[in-house]
């Protein structure tokens, strides 16, 4: 079942004003704020941190015989396949040459691999299949201007998938049954206004969710040709209640369910009687992950994620396995999937002081065995530790946060003297930061900065009250949470008032613009990546297939269809407070971004130019919402590193040739980032010489 439209929400995971005189590009040069001791910690090369991993997104085939993963092919992430554990036999089964493939998974017959791909970040996703017998690749959704969504597959119907396609009406996805061998599609039902459709294990459409006027949903059941209302998901539960799927005999459904409680529980609803049974719950946080038995369709285990995932067995048959897994696991572990027989569990472990690792738990031996490390080269470096924190907001909310400190300055989560700090704000806002989930935090700490990540109100996973506390609070209480976290860090002497930068992507980019316009005295500088500057124009330009989510969006952010709502959005838009900007600002934007369109960055840069306010604006014509192409990502972080060093006094690796293979366009203000103007000129010279040689 596809639920990304609600989980990701609007912004899913991503210039400067008064620049000082450019510093000499010497990575070992001392600064006023980074200690001499810290200079002895080797710089981790940006390409290692932000380039392609050696391998990523490990998967086991449902029969357990094969494995797949993403890995570079000629510098671009592609899908590779091999017998399980035999990397020497691995072969690439795709040959993408663009932004690379970012998501792949197995068909339940273990005979096909499926992957999604868009065009240069436009998020018009197509679903492709790879026949592993012939290596033939088929676009299962070969239609113009659509964004396909994977809905379901079933072990009872091998070789078939249900896919949502919005080619009839761009607002709504019609569910089609698609044969993986012939690519023929059969319409299951016409979607006349359902935000989400749910199929059972016979791949029949059974449930539909209709958005209600107040931002909630009505769940209806399809009985023959009629739709009969089953239950409501109230507005306050819209972002914390999900249908997980049907039970084995298709007579009931499992839910992550916050109705009638704050923290989402795991429940079972019998459709005929309406009986609701609570299977698991926690007072600490939502039940965030559930592992289902792939054939019995009963929940095997679940996790609660406060600071880290805590896994608990639910089915008696698996409790000893979960205990054995917990005993052997290191880092923050996620159970990704199991084989169809339930005997092998694929896990991913996020670790702060070494590379993330994919592992396989075998129920026969009760051993957890490494499959591969994502970036094993990182293990050669001393990497910074991340410390979970709980910071209290001014109105008493617990803000789960993560503090990452430079290796040499780290005294068990404290420091001897204040460091420059980067407040790194996550996107969404309906998402969350997790333990050791950010290579950006590791990179910044390696450069000598303390890094603070804050799960501000509206972040998900901490109960519906916490999510809904963000309704109508963009640039208000949500921003106050960030300010309270900064004050906490200052009080703890982790940083000082004049040495805090703010940085983030998507909603985090918006928070950066809010920081520099609403509270300019708090931050020394800011880095905005694909952040909206005008909430009215943002909501006017959302993609048509977000129609089912718009009411939720309006109830949380502001309703542009009412005068009061438009006024609220206007009052919370950084574009309208450009005059307040007095600190350095760097902006990065993907030209093909369908969520936060290029106009959001264009208009604030234009407004700053009219006010003669310096700004550096970097644009990527072949990227979208965040920089997926590693060449683009590397070039932007090279500029960011120089920008932050100039602002906060941290260490930096020279820009060097890190722009050369990217599509970077510095639209405005190259001169405000030390070394950027020269690097752009060098890139242009290399490109010119290459053309002449051809």
Task: Give catalytic residues, as residue numbers.
Answer: 506, 593, 625
The count of C-alpha atoms lying within 13 angstroms of the C-alpha of 286, restricted to the half-sphere facing its C-beta, is 26
CB 60 within 8 A of CB 344: yes
Instruction: Give the residue carrying structure tokens 């088929």.
Output: 138
User: Over the range 355-374, which residues count as b (16 or more CB within 10 Å of their CB) and which as e?
Assistant: bbbbbbbebeeeebeebbbb
If DSSP codes are grouped into helix, strand and coil, which group holds residue 297? coil
DSSP line for 446-476: HTT-EEEEE--TT-SSS-HHHHHTTTT-TTT
* Strands, sheet with 299-305, edge to edge from the N-terminal-most edge strand: 287-292, 299-305, 309-313
Give the strand pairing for 160-169 and 172-179: antiparallel
Instruction: Give the residue carrying structure tokens 């000129």.
Output: 681
If DSSP codes are grouped into helix, strand and coil, which group holds residue 139? strand
Alpha-carbon span 243 to 550, nearest angstrom = 19
Alpha-carbon span 376 to 227, nearest angstrom = 53
Return all residues near 562 (Cβ < 8 A) that are at least 6 apart: none
E runs forming strands in 85-134: 91-92, 103-106, 112-117, 126-131
CB 506 within 8 A of CB 538: no
Instruction: Give the residue carrying structure tokens 């998901």.
Output: 233
Copy the structure tokens of residue 645. 């060093």
Alpha-carbon span 686 to 680, nearest angstrom = 10
- Residue 565 parent element (H or E): helix 563-571
CB 291 within 8 A of CB 304: no
- State the distance between the two ends of the chain, measured CA to CA, in whole angstroms: 49
Alpha-carbon span 141 to 153, nearest angstrom = 16
């Amino acid at each position: 079942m596809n639920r990304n439209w609600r989980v990701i929400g609007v912004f899913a995971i991503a210039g400067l004003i008064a620049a000082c005189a450019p510093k000499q590009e010497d990575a070992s040069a001392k600064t006023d704020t980074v200690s001499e001791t810290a200079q002895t910690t080797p710089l981790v090369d940006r390409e290692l941190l932000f380039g392609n991993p050696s391998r990523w997104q490990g998967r086991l085939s449902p029969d357990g015989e094969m494995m797949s993963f993403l890995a570079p092919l000629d510098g671009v992430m592609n899908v590779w396949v091999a017998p399980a554990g035999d990397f020497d036999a691995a072969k690439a089964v795709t040959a993408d040459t663009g932004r690379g493939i970012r998501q792949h998974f197995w068909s339940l017959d273990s005979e096909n691999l499926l992957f999604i791909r868009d065009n240069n970040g436009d998020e018009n996703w197509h679903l492709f299949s790879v026949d592993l017998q012939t290596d033939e690749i088929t676009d299962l959704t070969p239609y113009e201007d659509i964004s396909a969504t994977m809905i379901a597959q079933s072990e009872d119907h091998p070789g078939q998938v249900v896919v949502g396609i919005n080619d009839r009406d761009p607002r709504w996805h019609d569910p089609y049954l698609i044969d993986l061998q012939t690519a023929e599609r059969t319409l299951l039902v016409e979607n006349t206004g359902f935000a989400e459709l749910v199929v059972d294990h016979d791949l029949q459409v059974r449930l539909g969710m209709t958005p209600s006027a107040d931002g909630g949903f009505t769940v209806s059941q399809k009985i023959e040709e009629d739709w009969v209302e089953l239950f409501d998901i109230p507005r306050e539960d819209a972002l914390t209640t999900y249908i997980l799927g049907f039970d084995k005999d298709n007579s009931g459904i499992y839910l992550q369910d916050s109705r009638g409680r704050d923290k989402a529980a795991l429940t079972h609803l019998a459709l005929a009687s309406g009986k609701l049974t609570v299977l698991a719950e926690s007072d600490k946080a939502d039940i965030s992950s559930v592992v289902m038995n792939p054939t019995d369709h009963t929940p095997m285990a679940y996790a609660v994620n406060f600071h880290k995932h805590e896994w608990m067995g639910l089915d008696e048959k698996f409790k000893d396995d979960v205990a054995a897994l917990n005993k052997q696991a290191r880092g923050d572990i996620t159970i990704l999937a199991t084989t169809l027989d339930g005997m092998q569990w694929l896990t991913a472990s996020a670790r702060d002081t070494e590379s993330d690792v994919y592992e396989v738990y075998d129920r026969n031996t009760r051993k957890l065995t490494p499959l591969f490390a994502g970036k094993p080269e990182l293990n050669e470096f001393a990497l910074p530790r991340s410390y979970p924190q709980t910071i209290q907001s001014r109105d008493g909310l617990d803000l789960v946060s993560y503090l990452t400190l430079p290796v040499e300055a780290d005294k068990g989560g404290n420091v001897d003297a204040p460091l420059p700090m980067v407040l790194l704000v996550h996107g969404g806002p309906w998402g969350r930061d997790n333990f050791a989930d950010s290579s950006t935090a590791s990179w910044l700490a390696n450069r000598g900065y303390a890094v603070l990540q804050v799960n501000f109100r509206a972040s998900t996973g901490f109960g519906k009250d916490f999510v809904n506390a963000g309704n109508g609070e963009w640039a208000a209480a949500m921003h106050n949470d960030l300010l309270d976290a900064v004050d906490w860090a200052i009080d703890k002497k982790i940083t000082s008032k004049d040495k805090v930068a703010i940085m983030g992507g998507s909603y985090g980019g918006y928070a950066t613009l809010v920081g520099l316009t609403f509270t300019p005295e708090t931050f020394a500088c800011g880095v905005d990546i694909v952040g909206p500057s005008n909430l009215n124009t943002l909501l006017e330009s959302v993609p048509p297939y977000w129609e089912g989510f718009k009411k939720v969006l309006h109830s949380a952010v502001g309703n542009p269809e009412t005068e009061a709502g438009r006024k609220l959005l206007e009052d919370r838009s950084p574009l309208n407070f450009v005059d307040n900007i007095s600190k350095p600002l760097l902006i990065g934007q993907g030209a093909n971004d369908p969520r936060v369109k290029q106009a959001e960055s264009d208009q604030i840069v234009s407004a700053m130019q009219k006010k003669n306010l310096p700004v550096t604006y970097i644009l990527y014509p072949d990227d979208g919402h965040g920089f997926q192409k590693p060449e683009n990502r590397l070039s932007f972080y090279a500029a960011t590193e120089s920008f932050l060093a100039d602002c906060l006094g941290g260490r930096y690796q020279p820009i060097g040739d890190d722009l050369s293979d990217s599509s970077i366009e510095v639209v405005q203000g190259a001169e405000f980032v030390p070394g950027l103007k020269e690097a752009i000129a060098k890139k242009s010279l290399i490109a010119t010489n290459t053309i002449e040689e051809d």
